[in-house]
Amino acid sequence: MSDIALKCDGVTVSYGALNAIDDVSHSFAQGRIYGLIGPNGAGKTTLLNVLAGRQMRHRGSIHCFGADITRTPPHERAHLGIGRSFQITKIFAEMTVLDNLRIAAQIKHSRFQPFWIAPRYERRLAGDIDAMLELTGLSARRDDIAGTLSYGLQRALELGITLMPDPRILLLDEPLAGVGQHEIASSTRLIKAVSAGRTVLLIEHNMDAIMSLSEEIVVMSNGRVIAVGAPEQIRNDATVRSVYLGEEES
């Protein structure tokens, strides 16, 4: 058993002449919460894509708990415990909130999905679904069509879907983007609650949120990791201020 949850070695992703990720080598320790920051286009989303298996065309290698997963397809990585939410919400928009969580619960309970109506199986899912409705505060909206929810609630649902299989590693891409001001505080609390006991890579532009949530900050710029450190250290780092924080303030 390795206490490194995720490790990338010399990872490079090229789009034509542009290196979206440029020779990134970094290890993410088990059980730690990492904040991934950097200006738009720095390569943060691309890095999560590489880790989750959405971007398989890259140089270098990826290890998960010591196992080489460089060639492992995304659905297999999910079974290794990697859960992922997206910058642009990905939910089953035409289904009810309940069915969204139900599908997510199915993958947790069985790799085989029955072709017939299976009341006993559905009952086994019900407990997990109720718990997740409670956690995400969606109990009252369980019968609403997911696509009709407010954006903030859709984000909460996506987080619920992502959490349902109980992933050991959480990759969260801007979970607060588009969330209304009045929902930021509750969303931040929710992320904090679900991060406990997991390895988390969190991309977020809301500085207050990411500095309070993260134990370690990784700063990216032009496809490279340019600084790593504790939140207060990064706040005061001159290079980081010039490439990123300064930009935000101007």
Partner 1 sequence: MNASRFDLWLGLPLAAIALLLPFTGPSDFMLNLATLVMIWAVFAIGFDFVFGLLGMVSFGHASFLGLGGYALALATQMWGLPFCAGVSLAIVAGALCAWLFSFFALRVSGIFFALVTLALSQLLYILADSKLRAWTGGADGLPGVARPGLGGIDFFDSTLFYWYVLAVFALVMAAVVVLRRSPFGRVIAGIRQNETRAEQLGFDVHRYKQITFIVSGGISGLAGALLASLLMYVNPQMLHWTTSGDVIIMTLLGGAGTLWGPVIGVLAFEVLKEWLSGWTQYWYGILGLIFILATLFFPKGIVGELQERYGQWRDKAARRDGRIS
220, two tokens:
């990216």
Query: 23: alpha, beta or left, given left = phi > 0 and alpha = psi -120 to 50?
Result: left
Cβ 162 to partner 1, closest distance in Å?
Answer: 8
Q: At 192, phi and psi to the nearest 5?
A: -60, -45
Task: Name the site residues for ligand ADP (rule: CB under 6 A).
Answer: 15, 18, 20, 38, 40-46
**Of the candidates 6, 24, 45, 160, which one interacts with Mg ion according to CB under 5 A?**
45
Cβ 55 to ligand ADP, closest distance in Å?
Answer: 8
Sign of the four-CA dihedral 202, 34, 169, 53: positive
Instruction: Count residues binding partner 1 (CB under 8 A).
Output: 33
Cβ pair 207, 245 in contact under 8 A: yes
- Mark 13-52 with x for binding to partner 1 (rule: CB under 8 A) and - for no binding: ---------------------------------------x
Q: At 154, phi and psi to the nearest 5?
A: -60, -40
| Angle (nearest 5°) at CA 162 between 209 and 171 | 50
126 binding partner 1? (CB under 8 A): no
189 binding partner 1? (CB under 8 A): no
The residue (of 47 and 163) whose beta carbon lies closer to ligand ADP is 47
90, two tokens:
């990905």
Cβ pair 161, 215 in contact under 8 A: no
What is the binding site for partner 1 (CB under 8 A)?
52, 54, 74-76, 78-79, 83-84, 86, 90-95, 99, 102-104, 106-107, 113-118, 121-122, 161, 164-165
Query: Residue numbers of the site for Mg ion (CB under 5 A)?
Result: 45, 87
